[in-house]
C-alpha cells in the first residue's frame, strides 16, 4: 500500500527535508536522466550478443547466468522498441525498465508538490513481501537458466 505520510506519521502533505517543496526534485531528476541515458548508451554502443563481452562477474566465474543476465540485451531491444524480444531475454529486467520511469515521474511530481512518499506495507506484511520478491527473482532466475542466457 502506498501512503503519503507526514512527519508526525499522519497521512498528510508535508514539506520535504531541506527546505521548500521541490528543492530535491532537480537533483533526483538529473540522476534519473543520467541513469537512463547511460543504460541507453551502453545498449547502443556495446556489440551485438555473439561478439559482446560477458559483463556479469557471476557468469564469468561460474559459467551460469545470474538473475539479471540479459539486462543489457533487454535494454538494447527496448531501445530499438522490441518489447516482446526484451521480455524473452529477461522478463524481470524488462518489467523493471518499463515500470521504473513512470514510477520515478510520479515520485518527482509528488515531491515537487511537497508531498513525501513512503511505502508503508500493513503490519506483518513485510515478510510476505520479501518472500514474494524472492520468489519473483527466483522464478526469473529459473527462466534465465532454462533459456540458456
* pLDDT at residue 32 greater than cutoff 80: no
At 9-28, the pLDDT tens digits run: 544 444 445 545 555 556 66
Confidence at residue 142, expressed as pLDDT on a 0 to 100 scale: 94
What integer pLDDT is reported at residue 106 of this predicted model? 80
Work out the percent of the chain whose per-residue pLDDT is above 70: 74
The confidence score (pLDDT) of residue 102 equals 80
Q: What is the pLDDT of residue 139?
A: 95
Long-range pairs of 133-141 with CB within 8 A, sequence gap ≥ 24: 136/92, 137/67, 137/92, 138/67, 140/67, 140/90, 140/91, 140/92, 141/65, 141/66, 141/67
Amino acid at each position: 500500500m502506498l501512503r503519503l505520510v507526514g512527519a508526525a506519521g499522519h497521512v498528510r502533505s508535508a514539506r520535504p527535508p531541506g527546505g521548500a517543496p521541490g528543492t530535491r526534485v532537480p537533483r533526483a531528476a538529473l540522476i534519473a536522466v543520467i541513469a537512463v541515458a547511460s543504460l541507453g548508451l551502453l545498449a547502443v554502443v556495446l556489440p551485438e550478443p555473439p561478439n559482446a563481452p560477458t559483463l556479469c562477474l557471476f557468469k564469468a566465474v561460474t559459467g551460469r547466468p545470474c538473475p539479471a543476465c540479459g539486462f543489457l540485451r533487454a535494454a538494447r531491444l527496448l531501445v530499438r522498441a522490441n518489447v516482446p524480444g526484451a521480455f524473452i531475454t529477461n522478463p524481470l529486467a524488462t518489467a523493471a525498465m518499463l515500470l521504473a520511469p513512470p514510477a520515478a515521474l510520479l515520485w518527482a511530481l509528488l515531491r515537487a508538490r511537497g508531498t513525501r512518499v513512503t511505502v508503508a506495507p500493513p503490519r506483518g506484511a513485510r515478510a510476505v513481501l520479501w518472500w514474494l520478491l524472492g520468489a519473483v527473482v527466483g522464478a526469473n532466475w529459473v527462466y534465465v537458466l532454462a533459456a540458456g542466457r
